[in-house]
Structure 1
Amino acid sequence: MPSEPSPIRKYGVFALKAAISLGLVAYIVARADLSAVMSSIELANLGLIALAIGLQVLGAGIISIRWSLLLSEHDVRPGLPYLFGSTLASIFVRQFMPSIIGGDALRAHDAWRAGAGKGLAVVSLVVDRLLGLAALAIFALIAVAYFGTELLDLGNLWIWLIAGAGLIAALLALTFIRLPGGGTQQSDPVSKPARILRKFTDALSLYQGRYRVLLPTFALSVLLQINVVVFYWILSEALGLGVPFPAFFVIVPLAIFVMMAPVSINGIGLREAIFVLLLGLWAVDESAALAFAWVEFATVLVMGVIGGIVFALRRTRPAAIREL
């Protein structure tokens, strides 16, 4: 068993992330007109913001259906209400609980409690995430090809996008394609990277070649990411940014990939920086882009509150959370 990181290391990592978040926010706020930011937020269309929050709830429902299909392939059927509640609660945990808990850790615990083995509980979430990222990467590549030279101001960012999409495609291939020799006894690889790869491919063998479940779950992933793109576009309309809908097929994947980087606290700082950069490609000034980032973060917090209510009503909680 790997040793637990020391408290000094944990707090050091947290302090570094906090410093990065605060530094990025301070830099962007210093460049923006705060009065213009607050004015944009005050004039926002509350009806459209409420619709955007509704789309996030819908997204949680799609995730639950996708997760249900993956679990039912191995005869684990806890029911959609159970999985929907777990998905909402995981949003709260991800936003407000210590990072060592994690929303996916809660979902894995719930899948295990519903009868999934520990391996299946984890791998179902890995495949769930991987399919979602694959759909997002496909959107991004199509959009980059569509806009072409209009995205030259991104510098090398589009190269990283293509590299990330290639990695996701490789992992997706490992998920869909049944590897020869799967399930047979083989000698352990010598090198550590090879051993890690072997463990990963062995875990994915739970779903390799199972097109009956992978194809519909991938279709749900495409639907989910369309819902995400519409969510961001609706928020932009609420603030009157005037950014065309197709542009969000570039903005959303890049923003999500950047905010996933584990270098800040809940994407704070990264969120503001990436939206200022990307919305600026469509002539949105820094103050309006900053307002967009903060309104988006506010909707995330609202979803966290909804998830918190669901979490508070749960009858059982993972031991790691009960001990906090």
Structure 2
Amino acid sequence: MLNPINRSAAKSWQFWLKLAGSLALLSFLLARTDLHAIGTLFRSLRFPIFFASIFLYILAQMLSVVRWRCLLLAEKINIPFWRLTLLYFEGMFFNLMLPTSIGGDVIRGYRVFQMTRRDKASLASILVERLSGFVALAIIACIAMIPAYTYLNDPVVVWLVVMAATGVIGIVAGLLSVRLQTLFFRVLNGVGLGRFHERLEQLHESIRRYWTHRQALLQAVGLSLILQSLVIMIFYLTSRALNLSVDVRYFFLFVPLINVISMLPVSIAGIGLREGSSVYFFSKVGLDSAGAISLSLLFFAVTALCSGLGGIAFLVGHSQHRMDP
């Protein structure tokens, strides 16, 4: 087992490797793109639409807070909305700053545990929240594929959508199936990780309990559909801010896939992966690499600006925490 110093060194190396990978991929893409064209697109930026995108993104995150609160209330965890809002934006900030896109989730789960001393229920609410978002993405992509494929006619995109939907179904089935749970824990014991059996089993039971909270689950999935649709429209608005002409239906097909790819734990904040997948998908509908990279970078700027508010939320949250008895 690694001691704390070795674990810290390993995490440091992982961070720098991911950062190097992000920069290398982004440099590779930019080296094969007309940088002058990117500069021209950004000089023609329509700021009213850009600021509207920022406003809609903040609205989408507020919907995320409502979704999270619905799931917490189902487990009798009642935290004021304003406090959850601070925690959620704090999580957004650390999702941006930490090497993986789930680092902020761990932090806000820990903060809820500090307030409630219910660690399993706190973490389960976040995992179910994330899963409801993936379900919504899969639903949107599958629906969008029907009208878009008529014009796109690309089997690779179809297979990616099918694989993503199958993956979501597999995760849900794994959480609900007792047989798969038994098999998982048997494998865990077989590879020498049996010491985590009890804690993971408790967490698994906390997640499975949400299956009895049908109303909360339906609310979470419904809010996720609205939320993910808003995010897709924000992506579309950023294209209009850059004066790009891409039919909105392709955004409903491509953006869910781009979001999933950018969450792979091989880059920092999805940098490089988001731009590369944007170039790959949008090139299929006539958008050149300069336009696709500009679109991706501008969308990242929207998310980064809004996530930066989480830094303020972090300071406010800690000040409030010190004031609480």
TM range (shorter): 0.7 to 0.9
Q: Against the structure 1 CA distance between its residues 104 and 317, is the aligned structure 2 distance closer, same or farther, given a 3 Å change threshold?
A: farther
Gaps of 5+ in 1: 319-324
> Corresponding residue for 1:190?
186
The DSSP-based 3-state class of the residue aligned with 1:315 is: helix
> Corresponding residue for 2:26?
25
Sequence identity of aligned pairs in percent?
27
CA distance in 2, matches of 1:250, 1:316: 43
Please state if 1:112 is matched with 2:113.
Answer: yes
The DSSP-based 3-state class of the residue aligned with 1:191 is: helix
TM-score (norm 1): 0.86
**1:134 and 1:172 in contact (8 A); partners too:** no
Q: Against the structure 1 CA distance between its residues 19 and 178, is the aligned structure 2 distance closer, same or farther, given a 3 Å change threshold?
A: closer
Gaps of 5+ in 2: none
Deviations 1:211-257 (A, max 9, x none): 12111111111111111111111111111111111111111101001
**1:76 and 1:114 in contact (8 A); partners too:** no
Q: Which amino acid aligns with 2:93?
A: F
Q: CA RMSD in A?
A: 2.9
**2:239 and 2:295 in contact (8 A); partners too:** yes
Please state if 1:286 is matched with 2:303.
Answer: no
Q: Against the structure 1 CA distance between its residues 315 and 40, is the aligned structure 2 distance closer, same or farther, given a 3 Å change threshold?
A: same
TM-score (norm 2): 0.86
CA distance in 1, matches of 2:152, 2:188: 39
Please state if 1:56 is matched with 2:57.
Answer: yes
More helix by percentage? 2
> Corresponding residue for 2:87?
86
Q: Against the structure 1 CA distance between its residues 169 and 33, is the aligned structure 2 distance closer, same or farther, given a 3 Å change threshold?
A: same
Question: Which of 271, 274, 287 is the matching residue for 2:274?
Answer: 271
CA distance in 1, matches of 2:116, 2:207: 19
Q: Which amino acid aligns with 2:78?
A: R
CA distance in 1, matches of 2:61, 2:214: 23
Q: Which amino acid aligns with 1:237?
A: R
Deviations 1:62-95 (A, max 9, x none): 1110111111112111121111111111111111
Question: Which of 222, 231, 237 is the matching residue for 1:228?
Answer: 231
Q: Which amino acid aligns with 2:249?
A: P
CA distance in 2, matches of 1:146, 1:40: 29
Moved more, 158-167 or 24-33: 158-167
Residue correspondences, number = 312
Q: CA deviation at 1:159?
A: 2.1
**1:71 and 1:116 in contact (8 A); partners too:** no
CA distance in 1, matches of 2:212, 2:52: 38
Q: Against the structure 1 CA distance between its residues 111 and 149, is the aligned structure 2 distance closer, same or farther, given a 3 Å change threshold?
A: same
Q: Against the structure 1 CA distance between its residues 104 and 248, is the aligned structure 2 distance closer, same or farther, given a 3 Å change threshold?
A: same
CA distance in 2, matches of 1:241, 1:204: 43
